[in-house]
Amino acid sequence: MPTDLRRWQAPRLTMPKRLVTVGDLVADLVLGARLPLQAERHQTAKTLRFEAGGACTTILAARNMGLAVAALGTVGADFQGRMLLDILNAAAVDTAALLIPPGSTTTTVLALTDTGQGQHVFVGHYGAGADIEFTSAAEARLKSADAVFIPGYTLVEARLSGLVDGVLDWLAEHDGRLYFDVGPFSRQLSRAQVNQTLAVCDTLLLTEDEIPFVADGARGLDACRRLCARYRNLTIVLKLAAAGCRILSRSLDLACPGFAVDAVDTVGAGDAFAGAYIWADLNGYSPRECGTIANAMGAASVRKLGAGGNASSCAEVQSLLDRDETGIRLPC
């Protein structure tokens, strides 16, 4: 374990809850640009950052809030993979069960961000390498975990199907707790994959645009309510960007307002939101408090350029909670 953890400040918790994340970890190259791009209209990027993206942002936000996190999945045997491992290890994330096949490459995303307009564009390339299977090391981490987190894009990568199937089967057999963040790539999932995931899912995080991917093409709150009626123990957390979020279940329909901030960059805000929501939920906060804490994390995130290692701290989240007089105190 590295000795220099100055980028990560743990809240004063004696027994941190343990989260296992499942997926292909992503490296982001974040460039400041003017959007939209046009052919032959060349420009010089205002900023450049290498960052840990995708589920890494959820991992690092969860660590900043105080969760112990183990990552399952893969990174490539390349520069980007080494960079991700350095970032995660510096945050005391358990990476020992990650698989790094020889000659493999890391999923990499070029994120073009226009801070003046508050817009961004992603250009991604999936990593390549050997199939990633469910191992005894993965099972050991599931046994010691309080919950599992899976982002939607993990389910569409064919080389991760062995790992994902193993995790979902384990959750079904052991009645494990699953948080699933639908994400834009879930439109590629088959009905069978969606059903398999929802059957073991406790909390579904998604945006309004992503509702049709898991609701047979239906849209809106009624589609969410039908999902809650179909799956008895399901809670849906509907992310509404600056407006906050809405939390639904069979017995709950709760709006949690967002926090007004000056947005610089929205990249990774939803991923950071997920990390804070999971932390609050696992630590016994009320649904309203969970939504409010997650909204504060998302709002704190958009005030910065990039995500990943730039994920907001517990203290930054507390600052917004205090500013809006929520009465919520975090163990920062």
What is the per-residue pLDDT across 203-224, written as a single tens digit (0 to 9) for each? Answer: 999 999 999 999 999 999 999 9
Rounded distance between C-alpha atoms, residue 250 and residue 269, angstroms:
27
Considering only the C-alpha atoms of the chain, give the largest distance between any 2 of them, rounded to a whole number of Å.
57
In a domain, 302, yes or no: yes
Range ranked top by mean pLDDT from 11-25, 57-71, 253-267: 57-71
pLDDT at 118: 73
The whole-number pLDDT of residue 17 equals: 96
Measured between alpha carbons, how far is 250 from 263 in angstroms, rounded to an integer?
34
Name the residue among 182, 200, 192 with its Cα closest to residue 142: 200
pLDDT > 90? residue 241: yes
- Do the beta carbons of residue 65 and residue 275 sit within 8 Å? yes
Averaged pLDDT for residues 26-54: 87
- List the domain range (segments joined by +) for residue 252: 18-35+45-321
Evaluate if residue 1 carries a pLDDT over 60. no
Tokens 């007004």 correspond to what residue? 260
Q: Categorize the per-residue pLDDT at 29 as very low, low, confident or very high, splitting at 50, 70 and 90.
A: confident
pLDDT of residue 306: 67
**Residue 256 near residue 297 (C-beta atoms within 8 A):** no
- Cβ atoms of 270 and 298 closer than 8 Å: yes
Question: Residue ranges of the alpha helices (H) in the chain?
Answer: 55-65, 79-90, 136-143, 152-155, 161-174, 191-198, 211-214, 220-230, 269-282, 287-302, 314-323
Whether 9 shows a pLDDT value over 70: the answer reads: no
Q: Is the pLDDT score of 305 beyond 80?
A: no
In a domain, 126, yes or no: yes
Task: Let me know if residue 110 belongs to a domain.
Answer: yes
Q: Give how many domains the chain has, as a whole number.
A: 1
- 40: in domain: no
Residue 327 domain-assigned (yes or no): no
- Is residue 242 situated within a structural domain? yes
pLDDT-derived band of residue 51, with 50, 70 and 90 as boundaries? confident
In a domain, 256, yes or no: yes
Q: Which of 55-64, 135-144, 183-192 has the lowest mean pLDDT?
A: 183-192
Q: What is the pLDDT of residue 287?
A: 97
Task: Name residue, tokens 């400040």.
Answer: 9
Which pLDDT belongs to residue 14? 59
Q: Are 291 and 265 spatial neighbours (Cβ–Cβ below 8 Å)? A: no
Distances 319 to 11, 64, 139, 299 between C-alpha atoms, Å: 14, 14, 38, 11
pLDDT(68) > 70? yes
Which residues make beta-bridge pairs with 49? 30
Sign, CA dihedral 134-126-23-211, equals negative
Decide: 28 and 50 in contact? Cβ < 8 Å: yes
Whether residue 84 is contained in a domain is answered as yes
In DSSP terms, which residues pair with 107 in a beta bridge?
26
Indicate the DSSP class of residue 132: -
**3-state class (DSSP) for residue 154:** helix
Query: Tell me, what CATH number does 185's domain have?
Result: 3.40.1190.20
Retrieve residue 112's tokens. 């073009």
CA-based nearest residue to 55, from 83, 86, 84, 16:
84
Q: What values do phi and psi take at 68, rounded to 5?
A: -85, 130
**Amino acid code (one letter) for 301:** S
